[in-house]
Amino acid sequence: MTVRLDDTTAAQVSTAIDQERFRQGSSAVGRVLTLVIVADEATQADAVRSAAEAAREHPSRILVAIPRPGRGPARLDAEVSVGGVDGLGELAELRLRGPLAHHAASVVLPLLVPDAPVVVWWPSRAPDVPSDDPVGRLAQRRITDSGQGPRPLKDLDQRRHGYRAGDTDLAWTRLTPWRALLASALDQPTDPVVSASVSFQRHNPSGVLLAAWLQRGLGVPVDTHTSRGPGITAVTLRTGHGDIVVNRADGRIARMTRPGYPVREAPLKRRSLEALIAEELRRLDPDEVYGETLSELPRVQGFVAAPAPSRGGTFRQPDDDGADGTDLSSGASRRTASAPTTKAPAQKKAAKKTAATTARAKKVAAQPAKKTAATKPSSPRTGARTTSKAPR
C-alpha cells in the first residue's frame, strides 16, 4: 500500500509511516537500522529494489532522498509504503525540489528510526568527503560506489583522500569472494609468497584495490596487468616452489592451479547489487582493513595518485603501451615513485611507511614494462581516452 503526499513535511511523512504500520497491525517490527539512499531519478529504482531485497535480511526503514534542484519553490513530495509483498519494511521516497534539494538532511533527520544505526548509500555520485556531507554526518556507515561513475579510478582516489572511519565502497565489497578464496588458499601450508600479480579490466577499481590489499597483506610487490575482463580475471601468488594461480576469464568460474594439486574449479560469480548491500549492512563498525588498503593505493603499480585535495588520480598500466606514442614505462615509473612523497594530509598511516615503500615502489616500477600475461591490444581510441584522464 503506497501513500502519496504532495507538498508535504517530514513530520507528515513520519505520521504516515506510523499510521501505515499501525493499520497493518505490525507495530512492533524489528527495524534494526535506517538506510538512507541519496540518488537521482535515473539510479534510484535499481538502488531501492536492491535495498528492499537486502531488507529481508536486515529489516530497515529505507529513506530515498532524490534531489530535484530547479528554479521552482522548495517543496517536498513523498511516497510512503509499508510492509510490501517482498518482505520490505518501510520505504519513503522523498523528492526534494527547488532549493530543498540542497537540504536533504533537514528532511531525513526527523525520519530516522530512534537510536538505531544509520547507513547512507550513494549509488552513483558521492560527495568528495562523505563524512562531511550533511546527510553523511548523520550516519555511522557511508557506502559509496566507485565502480559506477564515469571515472572510477579518480573516484577511488577521491575515496582515499576523503576516507574517514565508517566509509566503505562497493568496489571493495565486490572483492570479498576473491579475497576469501585467496585467503583460504593460504590457509593451506604454503611457501612464503615472494611476489604477486593481478589482472583486471581497464579502469576496474576493484582490481586496483585487490592489488593494494595483497601488497599490504603480503608485504611483497604486486604487479598489475590489463585484461579484457570482465572485472578481475587472474591473480598469481608466486612462491619459491611454484605459483598459485586463480583464473577467472568468464566472470563465473575460478580455476585454481597450485603446485601439488590438480586444477580445481569453484564458482566465483560476480554478485548482484542486493548481495553487496546485504553484506554491507551485516557489519556497521568501521572497516579498518578497507581504510588501510586505500592508503596503500599510491604504491600500487601503475596507479597514479593525485595529491589531495584536487579531484585527480588515474591509472596507467605498464603494459598500456604505445598507442599514444609516449614512453609509458618511464612515465608510470616516474609517477608511481613520486606518489608516496606527495603525502595527503589524511594519510598519516602511509607516512610512517614512506622510506621502505618508496624503495619498493621504485623497484616495482622499474620492472620491464612488457612482462605481462594478458596484453590488451590497445586501439588509438582507447589511448586517447587514457590520455584525457591524466591528472589536471
Partner 1 sequence: MPVRLWTPAEGANPLRDPRDRRLPRIAGPCSLVMFGVTGDLARKKLMPAVYDLANRGLLPPGFALVGFARRDWVDQDFAAIVHDSVREHARTEFREDTWQELCKGIRFVAGDINDDSAFDQLAQTVMDLDRVRGTRGNHAFYLSIPPKFFAPVVQQLKRSGLSASGDGAWRRVVIEKPFGHDLASARELNETIGEVFPSGSVFRIDHYLGKETVQNLLALRFANTMFEPIWNANYVDHVQITMAEDIGIGGRAGYYDGIGAARDVIQNHLLQLLALTAMEEPLSFRANDVRIEKEKVLAALTLPDDLDMHTSRGQYAAGWQGGEPVIGYLEETGISPTSTTETFAAVRLGVDTRRWAGVPFYLRTGKRLGRRVTELAIVFKRAPHLPFSATDTEELGQNAFVVRIQPDEGVTMRFGSKVPGTQMEVRDVNMDFAYGDSFTESSPEAYERLILDVLLGDPPLFPRHEEVELGWTILDPVIEHWAESGKPEQYESGTWGPRSSHEMIWRDGRSWRRP
Chain contacts with partner 1 (rule: CB under 8 A): 28-30, 32, 56-59, 87, 173, 176-177, 179-184, 186-189, 193, 214, 217-219, 252-254, 256, 261-262, 264-269, 278-279, 283, 287-289
Residue with cell 593525485: 306
Cα–Cα–Cα angle for 190, 195, 201, rounded to 5 degrees: 110
- The minimum distance between CB 181 and partner 1, in angstroms, equals 7
- The minimum distance between CB 227 and partner 1, in angstroms, equals 20
CB nearer partner 1, residue 253 or residue 359 = 253
- The minimum distance between CB 292 and partner 1, in angstroms, equals 9
- The minimum distance between CB 26 and partner 1, in angstroms, equals 9
CB nearer partner 1, residue 23 or residue 282 = 282
CB nearer partner 1, residue 287 or residue 321 = 287
> How many CB atoms neighbour CB 220 within 10 A?
16
Residue with cell 597450485: 258
Q: Are 36 and 119 in contact (CB under 8 A)?
A: yes
Residue with cell 560469480: 269
CB nearer partner 1, residue 264 or residue 370 = 264
Q: CA 33, CA 117: separation in Å to the nearest integer?
A: 5
CB nearer partner 1, residue 3 or residue 249 = 249
- The minimum distance between CB 283 and partner 1, in angstroms, equals 5
Q: Are 36 and 139 in contact (CB under 8 A)?
A: yes
Between the alpha carbon of residue 81 and those of residues 40, 62, 124, 160, 267, the distances in Å are 19, 10, 24, 37, 37
Whether residue 309 has a cis bond before it, omega within 30° of 0: yes
CB nearer partner 1, residue 151 or residue 270 = 270
Closest CA to 367 of 336, 323, 341: 336
- The minimum distance between CB 160 and partner 1, in angstroms, equals 18
Q: CA 208, CA 286: separation in Å to the nearest integer?
A: 21
